[in-house]
Structure 1
Amino acid sequence: MISWQEAKAILNSLTTTYGTEKISVRESWGRTLAEDITVPRNYPDVHKSAVDGYAFKHGRKTYRLTGEVAAGAKSGPSVKEDETIFVMTGGTVPFGADTVARVEDCEDQDGVITIPGTIPAGDSVNLAGEEAKKGDAVIKKGVVIDKGLYPALFYLGKAEIEVYKKPRVAAFVTGDEILEVEEKFAEGMVFDTNRRILESCLNSVGITPDFFGPIGDTEAEVANAFKEMCKDHDIIISSGGVSMGKYDFVKKVFKEHDFELFIERTRIKPGSPLMVAKRDNKLFLGMPGYPAAFLTNFVFYAVPLFRKALGVTDFENKIHKAILKTEMKARKGRMDIDRATATVENGRYHAADPGSQLTSHFINFASVNALVLIDEDSNSLPAGSEADMILIP
C-alpha cells in the first residue's frame, strides 16, 4: 500500500499522449490544442475606428466633410488638415487622420463639422498591431478549446488546427451480481452504476469509452476481456475484482498474463484498491466495485490522468479552499476523501457533509458535487475550519 503522492507520481510517469491530428476549427470544441498559435498579421491590420464618428487630423475646430468609410471598406483618399471623413465602427481610419470624434459629440452644419475641443489627440483610434503583432505567440498548446478559445480561433482565421488525438478507451464492469436497469430486481443483485459514473466523468473530459460486459466472475472471462480490449484500445478500465475476495481476479490476471503491475493499493479512503498495470504500451486501471469508492477513486486519480492523455497542460484537479459547515470525519494515517455538498456564499466555497460517508452508501451522491481532502496527518476536521476541496467534474 503506497501513499497517494506516490500513486500520482507513478500515474503521471505512465501517462502519455497519443499523437496529434489536424481538424477543422468547426469541430474543435472540447479538444486540446497541440500547437502554439501565432498571429498571421497585425491585429488590427490597419488603424481602425473604435466608434461611429469623424476621422480628422487633430488641431482644428472645424473640418469639411469629404466622404465616408464603412467597416470592411478601403479607406480611400487621405484627408487634408482641414478635412474629415465619416468612419463607421471598425472602419479604416484614412491616412492623414489621427483621431476620431463620436458623431453624437459633433455638430454638422451643411457639411462643416465642428469638433469639441475636449477630445484628445489619438482618441477612438485602434492602432495597427496594438492588440498583437505579426508573429506574436498568443496561445500556448495544451489548453482545452472552450467558450473563450473557440471563437478566438475563428477571430484569428484558423480554418484548421492541430489537436491531440483522443486515447481509445475501453471499460468493463465485473460481477455476476450486476443487472441492467431494465431487468427485474432479484435479492442480492445490484444495478450497473459504475458504467454510468464512467460515462459522466469521461464525457466531462471529452472521451466516449467503449463498454464491454458485464464480465462474469471467472479468471478466464476477465483474462479474455483484457485480451479483446487490448486489440483496439489504449487505456482499459475495470470496475470490481481488485480487492481481496475469492472472485477478485483482476490482480491474478495481471500477474499471470505478462502485465507489469505498478500499483495495487493506496492509502486513501474510500477507494484504496487501485491497480495500475501496463503491457505492450496499453495502460490498465483496475478500480473498486463499490460505486462510492469507484467515483471517489476515479475523480481523484483517473480524471487528471485522462486530461494529461488528452494533452492538457494543467491536468491536475484544481484545489479550492472551503469553509466546513459540518464536521468532516477522518483518521490519521491515510488520506480521507469525504463527499460533500459545496455551495458558494459571500464569494467563498462552503462544504457540508451530505449525511453519510459509508463506502457502501451511494444515494447521497445525488446531492454531492465535491470531495473534501483530509491529509493523512489529520484527524476529523471540525465545522468552521478550512479544508482543501475538489469539484466533481
Structure 2
Amino acid sequence: MIEYTDALKIIVEQALPLPSEKVEINDAHQRVLAGNVRIDMDMPPFNKSAMDGYACRKVDLGNTLQVIETIYAGKDPEKAIGKNQCAKIMTGAVVPEGADCVFMVEDAEMVDTDRIRCTNENTKNNISYRGEDARAGDSLLPDSTLLCARHLPLLAMAGATEVEVYKKPEVSVMVSGTELVEPQEKPQPFQIRNSNSSQLLAQLKDMAIKANYIGITKDDEALLEQTITRAFEKSDVLLLTGGVSVGEYDLIPGILQKLGFDILISKTAIQPGKPMVFAQKGKRYCFGLSGNPVSSFIQFELYVRPFLYALMRYVYRAMRVCLPIHSNFKRRNDARLLLAPGFINQNNEVEPVEFHGSAHIGGLSGAQVLFELPIGIKEVKKGDLVYVRFI
C-alpha cells in the first residue's frame, strides 16, 4: 500500500506530454498554453487619461484655463496644449501633446463658457503612461499556463487570436459490474444504478475534456478484455470503475497484465479509495478506480486530474488551506490518509457532514471541502487546524 504523495509522484512521472495544436481564442478556455505569449505593442499604446476631466500643464493649475478641445476615447487630439490652455477629456482618451496632468471633472469650476479653473492644485497626474503595463515584446503569459477567463483578455490584448495549446488526451470511461444498470433503468432487487460514469464524465468536463463513454461491461473476463482492447484503439487514457479489489470477480488487474500493461499502483493509503490500479503500456494509461462513487470521486481528484494535466504539461496543485475544525472528530483506524467531506461555516470553521462511508453519495452532495487527517492521527479536537481541499 503506497502513501498518497509517493503514489502521485509515480503516476505523474509516467505522463508523456502530448504535442501542441492551434485553437481559436474563444476555444482556448481551460486549455494549457504551449509557449510564451508576447505582446506586439506597448500597453497602453499611448498616454491615456485615467478619468474624466481636463488635460493641462501642471504649472498652470492655479490659473484660469481656456478649453480648446474635447477629446473622447478613440479620437486623435487635434491641438497641443499651450500655456493656460486645457482640453476636456474622457477616460481612456489620448492625452494631448503639451499636457502633463488631468484633473478630475469634479475639481473643475466654470468661469465662463469656455474657461475653467481647477479647485485642487494638489491633483495627481491621473495619466496611464504608454508602456507602463507592458512593452512591445514582453511576455504576458508563460508556457504551460492553464488558460482561465482572466487570461483571455491578455491574449486579445496581444492580438493572439490563434493560440498554441497542448492537445487534450483522448479519454474513455467505462464501468464494470454485473450488478449495474444505467440510470434510466429500474433496478431489480439485486441491482443498482450506475452513478460513477456521470460523476467521472462531469469531472472530465470541468477540465474541458469530452470523454468517450463506453458503458457498462459485465464481470466477464473475455468481455472485459475485449472492451478494454477496443477502448485503447481510440484513447490515450481509460478510466474504469469496479473490479480492482481482491474479490473473485475483481478481474481488471489480471486482464491488464494479460494485455501487456505494467501495473505500477495497486493500492493507495487513502481513505476512502484504497483499491486503485494505475497501469501503463507505452503511451497508453489505465486507471482502475473504485466501484464506490465517493472513492472514485476522490481518486479522480487526487490522482487522475493531476495526471491528465501532466499530459498537457500543466503542474496541477489543488487548493489546500488550514482551517479550524468546528467540533471534536475521531476515527477508528489511522493507517491511511483520511479525506472526509465537510463544509465551511460562517465562522470559517470546517464542519464535518454526515458520512457513512465510500458508498454514501449523499455525503458529498452537501460538502464544499475534503478535510484531511494524516496517517497516525486518530482524533482532532475542536479548534485544531486541519488541511482542507476544495472540491
Same-fold call, TM cutoff 0.5 = yes
**Which residue number corresponds to residue 331 of structure 1?**
333
Which is further off, 93-102 or 24-33? Answer: 24-33
Which is further off, 321-330 or 370-379? Answer: 321-330
Which is further off, 272-281 or 105-114? Answer: 105-114
The 5 Å alignment of 1:22-41 reads 22-41=22-41
**Which residue number corresponds to residue 370 of structure 1?**
369
Letter in 2 for 1:389: V
- What secondary structure is seen at the aligned counterpart in 2 of 1:345? coil
Unaligned 5+ segments in structure 1 are none
**Which residue number corresponds to residue 10 of structure 2?**
10
CA distance in 2, matches of 1:117, 1:353: 57
The ranges of structure 1 where at least 4 consecutive aligned residues each deviate by more than 3 angstroms after the TM superposition are none
Task: Give the 3 Å change call, closer, same or farther, for CA 58–240 of structure 1 in structure 2.
Answer: same
The 5 Å alignment of 1:92-103 reads 92-103=94-105
CA distance in 1, matches of 2:20, 2:267: 33
Q: Contact 2:294/2:360 (CA < 8 Å) preserved in 1?
A: yes
Percent identity of the aligned residues? 24
- What secondary structure is seen at the aligned counterpart in 2 of 1:251? helix
Letter in 1 for 2:207: V
CA distance in 2, matches of 1:353, 1:66: 68
Shift in Å, 1:285: 0.6
Shift in Å, 1:174: 0.5
CA distance in 1, matches of 2:40, 2:345: 42
- Cα deviation code 1:225-279 (max 9, x no counterpart): 1211111111111101111111111110122221111111112222111111111
- What secondary structure is seen at the aligned counterpart in 1 of 2:137? coil
Which is further off, 7-16 or 33-42? Answer: 33-42
Decide which of 160, 163, 168 is 2:162's aligned counterpart: 160
CA distance in 2, matches of 1:119, 1:92: 22
The 5 Å alignment of 1:349-364 reads 350-364=349-363
Q: Contact 1:37/1:139 (CA < 8 Å) preserved in 2?
A: yes
Letter in 2 for 1:275: V
Asked if 1:110 is matched to 2:113, the reply is yes
Letter in 1 for 2:236: D
- Cα deviation code 1:285-324 (max 9, x no counterpart): 11111222222222222122223333333x0222121322
Q: Contact 1:101/1:119 (CA < 8 Å) preserved in 2?
A: no
Q: TM-score, normalised by structure 2?
A: 0.93
**Which residue number corresponds to residue 219 of structure 2?**
217
Task: Give the 3 Å change call, closer, same or farther, for CA 344–162 of structure 1 in structure 2.
Answer: farther
Shift in Å, 1:282: 0.5
Q: Contact 2:55/2:88 (CA < 8 Å) preserved in 1?
A: yes
CA distance in 1, matches of 2:146, 2:330: 34
Q: Contact 2:344/2:368 (CA < 8 Å) preserved in 1?
A: no
CA distance in 1, matches of 2:90, 2:230: 64
Letter in 1 for 2:312: L
The 5 Å alignment of 1:132-171 reads 132-171=134-173
Task: Give the 3 Å change call, closer, same or farther, for CA 382–106 of structure 1 in structure 2.
Answer: closer
Unaligned 5+ segments in structure 2 are none
Letter in 2 for 1:342: F
Q: Contact 2:260/2:281 (CA < 8 Å) preserved in 1?
A: yes
CA distance in 1, matches of 2:351, 2:121: 57
CA distance in 1, matches of 2:366, 2:120: 62
RMSD over aligned CA atoms reads: 1.9
Task: Give the 3 Å change call, closer, same or farther, for CA 369–95 of structure 1 in structure 2.
Answer: same
Which is further off, 199-208 or 185-194? Answer: 199-208
**Which residue number corresponds to residue 276 of structure 2?**
274
Letter in 1 for 2:195: T
Letter in 1 for 2:350: A
Letter in 2 for 1:324: I
CA distance in 2, matches of 1:281, 1:27: 26
CA distance in 2, matches of 1:337, 1:102: 55
Letter in 1 for 2:200: L
Decide which of 85, 89, 97 is 1:83's aligned counterpart: 85
Shift in Å, 1:328: 4.1
Aligned residues: 387
Shift in Å, 1:150: 2.3
- What secondary structure is seen at the aligned counterpart in 1 of 2:67? strand
Q: Contact 1:169/1:234 (CA < 8 Å) preserved in 2?
A: yes
Q: TM-score, normalised by structure 1?
A: 0.92
Q: Contact 2:140/2:154 (CA < 8 Å) preserved in 1?
A: no
- What secondary structure is seen at the aligned counterpart in 2 of 1:101? strand
Q: Contact 1:179/1:189 (CA < 8 Å) preserved in 2?
A: yes
Asked if 1:379 is matched to 2:378, the reply is yes
